[in-house]
Amino acid sequence: MSTVPAPRELTTRPRLSDRVFRRVVTAGGLSSLVILGLITVFLAYRGVEVLRQEGFNFITKSNWSITTDDAGNVVESHFGLAAMLVGTILCSAVAVVIALPISVATALYLNFYAPPWLKKFLIAVIDMMAAFPSILFGIWGFLVLMPSIEYWAKLLNRYLGFVPVFHVDAYVFTRSPFVAGVILAIMIIPIITSVSREVFSQAPLDRIQAAYALGATRWGMIKAVVIPHGRSGVIGGAMLGLGRAMGETVAVFTVLNIVFQVNWHVLFGVGGNVASLIILKFGEASPYEIKALMAAGLVLFVLTLLVNAIADLIVKTTGKSGK
Amino acid sequence: MTTVAPRKPWAATPADRLRDLAIFLLSAVLSYLVVAVTPAKGKLAYVGLFFIFYSVASGIAGWIKFGRRSAADLFIKTLIGLMAFVTVLPILSILTTVIAKGYRGINLNIFKTDMSLNAPTDPLNVGGLLHAITGTVILVSVALVLSVPLGILTALYITEVKGRFTKPIKFLVQAMSGVPSIVAGLFILSAVLYPITKAYSGFMASLALTILMIPTIARTSEEVLKLIPNDLREAGVALGGTQWRTVAMIVLPAARSGLMTAVILGIARIAGETAPLLLLSGGGDKVNPNPFHDPMGSLPYYIWKSFNAGSPEAITRAWAGLLVLITIVLILFTAARLLSTRKVK
Amino acid sequence: MTSSLSEVANAHVTKAPSIRAAGTGLEARGVHAWFTKHHALADVSLDFAPGTVTALIGPSGCGKSTFIRTLNRMHEFIPGAAMAGEVLLDGKDVYAPGVDVTKIRLQIGMVFQKPNPFPSMTIGENVLSGLKLAQVKVDNKDDLLEECLERAGLWKEVKDRLGAHGGSLSGGQQQRLCIARALAVRPQVLLMDEPCSALDPGSTLRIEETIRHLSDTMTIVIVTHNMQQAARVSDSTAFFLSDGGPGQMIEFAPTSEIFSRPKDKRTEDYVTGRFG
């Protein structure tokens, strides 16, 4: 016991078949890295000309115009995403503000209130909703939901119109960022709900029972144990939802009235988002305009990556602090 | 010896149930009255007011019975239950609308013909979505062939090989699941379509769908493989198996039904994806069995085109397309659930 | 307690050294084991004579399971694991460079704490799975199947349902199936890591019978928490203990001696039930 030897260096090599296996799996595992890298490289490569031309104006100005002469050469062009970026943020912010409380309450209901049979059924239904195609939300939102939302939007404007975001310049309530936001909210509720449900279910049982043993009501227990435990996980889930809402294309394009004008008034029927701009302009875009669209795609890509990275970080830190 | 009947002293008594029912009815009547006398109107007004009345009424009932703390508890309980109901409400509305509006566009004919001779605005008895269904099947199949190996290899890297990049790859897969579908479309456009093929085709769209599908398959497979007890891997290795043979003969077969679930969820994720198809597939109106040549139609593209044509017939076509699409997604989803709940023996 | 245990140990007739299994046996020389920085096992040297059963006993956390896993190189699967010393099989170091690890594990089989038949395979496939895993060719698989199940004491119970799933057996039967599976690749040594800890007393007895039969032809090392079991099945016993530091082997002797005349005070305290 007096002398402890140094650990042995193990030099045996695994068999050839295992080395091949590990290489193949590693190569496959790196596919996500390769794909994400290629996306960045190619979008940047196609968009760099426009980005260089426009500089910061690309994200601060909001006009989208291109003039070509008869030979098809570009005479003059202005590309600025500001209105679309504002619209992206506005729509997805509305979505998260609406979806977050509903999702958290649903997750709490599923974990702590629902009878077991109902819980199973609801989880299946909500998971299923996450698999609904976005074009369905778009068309349903436009034809079915919009009239109802319009009514609520008018109500909000009448009683809360003095709050700047609820102000409207003209009496146009259809196809507003608010409508798009509500539809996006419905689309991201399943995501935030399932993340929240996950973190709530990890709340330590001993602490839950301790709270009950101290005479806490169910809500008291949730406030004292579950919410503090799950808070950052829920925020992470909301960020994931935000990322999804920012990248949504077809549903937003279907309901939103896309106009190149910076509009911070959620109820006013003018807006846009980067993804739907790409769909809108792609059909008749000239080669140079396509480059601008690629640059817009790059901006959107970086934005969603950023939001997702932050979300991932937040969700991970809860996992650790909770134990 | 007297027999003792089992009791559940904590269960609701008939009196409790009666009181709950009374609160429910009272709130319903109140919300009806308020809608009747005030300018508030519409289905949502009923629902909204009912929420408020129901929560407050149960809170008050709790206060009367047990005091203030209980009032808050019951108020919140009702509120939370109602919020959960709000979550389900859109699903109910979506399903009923799609069925109610879509069934008129469904007839045997649409499964036999395509739209090569018709416009979306034509009467409903001509034209069909055969091209769209075959197109979607082909697009999804090609995407499957590409994404299943990559997705499962990624999961194997995280759970079995556990190399140096495990953490970054987990992060990247997460990040990849957040890539907007339109960006995936633009990427294929810029990296493959413009420089190489220079033509719209089903294969281009499948490539974009592959990007969207990999993270779903990788993450679900990862979860499934993590559930395989480590004992089994150790037993395989202790019997003189190499890691490769242990994974191929024991781990993957044991995870079989879970991996099927992963694949099905991946299909459900992309079957209705629209944006990249608008950029890449070209959206033909004719049945086209070759993914490498000529534009290829698909259900989402058909729905999109019909909806944008705008006439009542075209909109009905769109709803019918949605009904077909959603039926496919629901069947896949149910299959995935049945598979995943079946226990590993 | 002491008397009853030593009676049990004496009742089990220690095998005459003339009955010897093939090979020159397994030997551990100065084995240490680490988990990252944690020094779990220090300087264990043990000689497992061919054709004998050696029991490793000791309280939880004394390093006996870690030790048994160093013998067939399962230890290195735990991330951050390290070891020192030598493990000799037939005089050759199993940790030497250039050694084919999978071959070592073919020669030194292992049975785990919990029964773990492969869920995707039938009973028959489970028994023969080692052949497929290690790509060993056998002429007559049916004979081998019967022989292994017979030796594991399971043949009579399952011969009519070899096509059923391994999971359909009871816990004790599953564990015997795992023993049969380990036997099919014909190892010289069988390591058993608390093979009965998840089983009921009846199944435990059946496994112990099996172990005694097997020891005629192979070397067996068994980790157990149960001192009666050690007394019943083993020829020699090693007592492991950790005094807060790394686990050490305190005493190694014929089983009857360990339970009747332990040399070390700590061994005596443990086998008489004063702690642990």
Q: What is the 3-state secondary structure (H, E, C) of chain A?
A: CCCCCCCCCCCCCCCHHHHHHHHHHHHHHCHHHHHHHHHHHHHHHHHHHHHHHHCCHHHHCCCEEEEECCCCCEEEEEECCHHHHHHHHHHHHHHHHHHHHHHHHHHHHHHHHCCHHHHHHHHHHHHHHHCCCHHHHHHHHHHHHHHHHHHHHHHHHHHHCCCHHHCCCCCCCCCCHHHHHHHHHHHHHHHHHHHHHHHHHCCCHHHHHHHHHCCCCHHHHHHHHHHHHHHHHHHHHHHHHHHHHHHCCHHHHHHCCECCCCCCCCCCCCECCHHHHHHHHHCCCCHHHHHHHHHHHHHHHHHHHHHHHHHHHHHHHHHHHCC
Q: How far is A14 from chain C (nearest CA, A)?
A: 7
User: Are A29 and B176 inside 8 Å of each other by CB?
Assistant: no
Nearest residue on chain A to B42, judged by CA atoms? A148
Asked whether the beta carbons of residue B69 and residue A217 sit closer than 8 angstroms, the reply is: yes
Q: What does the DSSP assignment read for B223-272?
A: HHHHHS-HHHHHHHHHTT--HHHHIIIIIHHHTHHHHHHHHHHHHHHHHT
Contacts of A10 in chain C (CB under 8 A): 76, 95
SS3 (DSSP) at B92: helix
How large is the average pLDDT for residues C237-242?
Answer: 93
Higher pLDDT, B325 or B56: B325
How far is it, in rounded angstroms, from Cα B296 to Cα B283? Answer: 5
Nearest CB to C133 within list B162, B240, B254: B240
Quick one: tokens of C208?
């112990």
Q: Where are the domains of chain C?
A: 2-13+24-118+186-271
Instruction: List all residues of chain C from 141 to 200 with a beta carbon under 8 Å from chain B.
Output: 165, 167-168, 178, 181-182, 185
Mark yes or no for CB contact A250/B154 under 8 Å.
no
Contact A6 C84 (CB under 8 A): yes
Residue B258 confidence (pLDDT): 86
Q: CB-CB: which of B172, B326, B332 is closest to A136?
A: B326
Q: Which residue has the higher pLDDT, B307 or B117?
A: B307
**B254–C119: do the CB atoms touch at under 8 Å?**
yes
**HEC profile of chain C:** CHHHHHHHHHHCCCCCCCCCCCCCCEEEEEEEEEECCEEEEEEEEEEECCCCEEEEECCCCCCHHHHHHHHCCCHHHCCCEEEEEEEEECCEECCCCCCCHHHHHHHEEEECCCCCCCCCCEHHHHHHHHHHHHCCCCCCHHHHHHHHHHHCCCHHHHCCCCCCEHHHCCHHHHHHHHHHHHHCCCCCEEEEECCCCCCCHHHHHHHHHHHHHHCCCCEEEEECCCHHHHHHHCCEEEEEECCCCCEEEEEEEEHHHHHHCCCCHHHHHHHCCCCC
CA A322 to each of CA A205, A208, A233, A240, A317: distance values in angstroms, whole numbers, following the listed order: 12, 13, 10, 20, 8
Q: Say what the pLDDT of residue A287 is.
A: 86
**Residue A16 near chain C (CB below 8 Å):** no
d(CA C38, CA A153) in angstroms, rounded, equals: 64
- CB contact set of A5 (below 8 Å; sequence gap of 6+): C30, C32, C84, C85
- Contact of C74 with chain B, judged by CB distance below 8 Å, is answered with yes
Helix pair angle (B230-238, C171-183), 10° resolution: 30
Residue B296, helix vs strand vs coil: strand
Query: Between chains, do B333 and A240 touch, taking CB under 8 Å as contact?
Result: no
Is the ipTM higher than 0.90? The answer is no
Cα separation, B280 vs B188, in Å, equals 8
Q: Which of residues 2-41 of C touch A (CB under 8 A)?
A: 30, 32, 34, 39
Give the type of residue at A23: R
- Nearest chain C residue to A11 by CA distance is C97
CB contact (8 A) between residue C112 and residue B236: no
- Over residues A93-117, the mean pLDDT reads 93
Res C1 pLDDT > 50? no
More confident residue, B64 or B83: B83
CA distances from A172 to A149, A153, A263 (A): 13, 10, 13
Q: Does C118 touch chain B (CB under 8 A)?
A: yes
Q: What is the CA radius of gyration of chain B?
A: 27
**Quick check: A320 pLDDT over 60?**
no
Q: In the structure, what pLDDT confidence band is assigned to residue C134 with cuts at 50, 70 and 90?
A: confident
The shortest CB-CB distance from A12 to any of C83, C85, C98 is to C98
Look up residue B292 and give its two tokens.
């490498």
Residue A319 pLDDT: 54
Task: At B257, list the tokens.
Answer: 């039904």
**Residue C95 C-alpha, separation from nearest chain A C-alpha, in angstroms:** 7
In this predicted structure, the answer to whether residue B338 has a pLDDT above a threshold of 90 is no
Asked if A10 and C95 come within 8 Å (Cβ–Cβ), the reply is yes
> What pLDDT, on the 0 to 100 scale, is given for residue A198?
86
Select the residue of A108, A131, A148 nearest B268 (Cβ to Cβ). A131
Which chains have at least 3 CB atom pairs separated by less than 8 Å from chain C? A, B
DSSP SS3 for B90: helix
Neighbours of chain B (3+ CB pairs under 8 A): A, C
What is the CB neighbour count within 10 angstroms for residue B189? 24
Q: How confident is the model at residue A236 (pLDDT cuts 50, 70, 90)?
A: confident
Under the banding of pLDDT at 50, 70 and 90, the label for residue B345 is: very low
d(CA A106, CA A126): 10
Could you tell me which residues come within 8 angstroms of residue C97 by beta carbon, excluding any fewer than 6 positions away? A11, A12
pLDDT band at B344 (very low <50, low <70, confident <90, very high): very low
Confidence of residue C24 (pLDDT cuts 50, 70, 90): low
pLDDT value for A25: 93
Name which residue leads in pLDDT, C185 or B35: C185
**Residue B116: DSSP 8-state:** T
Average pLDDT over residues B94-109: 90
Per CB-CB distance under 8 Å, the chain A contacts of B180 are 246-249, 275, 300-301, 304
CA distance A102 to chain B (A): 6
Q: Which residues of chain A have a CB within 8 Å of the CB of C34?
A: 7
Asked if B275 and A275 come within 8 Å (Cβ–Cβ), the reply is yes
Mean pLDDT across the stretch A221-230? Answer: 88
pLDDT value at A185 more than 90: yes
Distance from CA of A2 to the nearest CA of C (A): 10
Residue C193: predicted pLDDT: 92
- Place C16 in a pLDDT band, splitting at 50, 70 and 90: very low
Lowest mean pLDDT among B95-99, B246-250, C79-83, C207-211: C79-83
Question: Is the separation of the CB atoms in B221 and B228 below 8 Å?
Answer: no
Q: Which of C84, C98, C248 sits opposite A8 (nearest CB)?
A: C84
User: A129, B247: Cβ pair inside 8 Å?
Assistant: no
Query: How far is Cα A31 from Cα A25, in angstroms, rounded to an integer?
Result: 10
Confidence of residue B122 (pLDDT cuts 50, 70, 90): confident
A6 Cβ under 8 Å from any chain C Cβ: yes
CA angle B198, B204, B209 (to 5 degrees): 155
What mean pLDDT, rounded, does chain C reach?
86
Q: What is the pLDDT of residues B153-168, one digit of tens each?
A: 999 999 998 888 899 9
Query: Given pLDDT bands bounded at 50, 70 and 90, which one contains residue A99?
Result: very high
Count of beta carbons in the 10 Å neighbourhood of residue B120: 22
Q: Which residues pair with C219 in a beta bridge?
A: C189
Tokens at A155, concatenated: 């109500």
Q: Is the pLDDT of residue C9 over 80?
A: no
Instruction: Provide the mean pLDDT of chain B.
Output: 87
Whether C97 contacts chain A with CB within 8 A = yes
**Residue B324 — very low, low, confident or very high, per pLDDT cuts 50/70/90?**
very high
Q: Band of the pLDDT at C7, cuts 50, 70, 90?
A: low
pLDDT digits (tens, 9 = 90+) for A128-155: 888 899 999 999 999 998 988 888 888 8
Pairing of strands A74-79, C92-93: unpaired
Higher-confidence residue of B266 and A163: namely B266
Residues B125-138, mean pLDDT to the nearest whole number: 90
| Most confident among B12-16, B61-65, B75-79 (mean pLDDT) | B75-79
What does the pLDDT read at residue C23? 53
The answer to whether B295 touches B284, Cβ cutoff 8 Å, is yes
As a whole number of Å, the CA-based R_g of chain C is 18
> Does B249 contact C105 at a Cβ distance shorter than 8 Å?
no
Give the β-pairing of A64-68 and C108-111: unpaired
Q: Does C77 touch chain B (CB under 8 A)?
A: yes
Domain extent listing, chain B: 14-104, 130-341
Homologous superfamily in CATH for domain B130-341: MetI-like (1.10.3720.10)
Q: Does A75 touch chain C (CB under 8 A)?
A: no
Fold for the domain defined by C2-13+24-118+186-271? Rossmann fold (3.40.50)
Q: What dotted CATH number matches A82-321?
A: 1.10.3720.10
CB–CB of A12 and C95 under 8 A? Answer: yes
Look up residue C192 and give its two tokens: 């058993």
Contact B240 C102 (CB under 8 A): yes
- A275 Cβ partners below 8 Å, 6+ apart? A88, A246, A247, A248, A249, A252, A253, A300, B180, B182, B275
The H-or-E segment that residue B59 falls in is helix B43-66
Chain A residues touching residue B93 (CB < 8 angstroms): 140, 144-145
Residues in chain B closer than 8 A to A36 (CB atoms): 172, 175-176, 179
Interface of B with C (CB under 8 A): 162, 229, 231-232, 234-242, 245-246, 249-250, 253-254, 256, 344-345
Kindly tell me if the per-residue pLDDT of B44 is higher than 70: no
More confidently predicted of C31 and B55: C31
How much is the pLDDT for A209?
86
**Closest-CA residue to C239 (of C264, C256, C275):** C264
Reference C51, options C17, C96, C85, C78; nearest CA is C17
pLDDT at position A321 is 47
Question: How sure is the predictor about A268, in pLDDT bands with cuts at 50, 70 and 90?
Answer: confident
